[in-house]
Amino acid sequence: MLSNILNYGQPMKFTTFFFFLFLLSISLCLSTTFFPTNIENMIPFFNLSPKINLTFIGLFSLTISILSYIGLMLSYYLEQKKEKARMIKLQKERKNIKKIHAELEALQKA
């Protein structure tokens, strides 16, 4: 399943990017809520200023998760719109092929 999401060797789609960004930010937001001491111990590990408090990290990650969710929904909408346009084009091509096939059959009978 993960290989279907990542598409190795292909450029990353916007939906995949926003999906992983959403998962990362929501997990950070939840971890600041449920495991604040672990996050406080990790702040020096990432060379962040000790003045940064957990409410800032929680609000920042919540903001990023909201923005990534909006980006995820927009990218899904645009993909669905592109897929619908492709299907309409494919249906028109099929109608043209059926029309040409009917004309060829009529010419063979004549």
Interatomic CA distance for residues 28 and 57, integer angstroms: 8
How confident is the model over 27-57, as pLDDT tens digits? 988 888 898 888 888 888 878 777 788 888 8
Write the pLDDT tens digit of every residue in 51-105. 788 888 889 999 999 999 999 999 999 999 999 999 999 999 988 888 888 888 8
The parent domain of residue 68 ranges over 16-109
Q: Contacts by 73-82 with C-beta closer than 8 Å and gap 24+?
A: 75/13, 75/14, 75/15, 75/18, 76/15, 78/14, 79/13, 79/15
Number of domains in the chain: 1
Write out the two tokens for 38: 């672990």
Asked if residue 85 belongs to a domain, the reply is yes
Flag whether 91 is in a domain.
Answer: yes
Q: What is the pTM of this model?
A: 0.70
In a domain, 103, yes or no: yes
Per-residue tokens: 72: 């995820």
Residue 4 in any domain: the answer is no
Rounded Cα distance, 94 and 15, in Å: 30
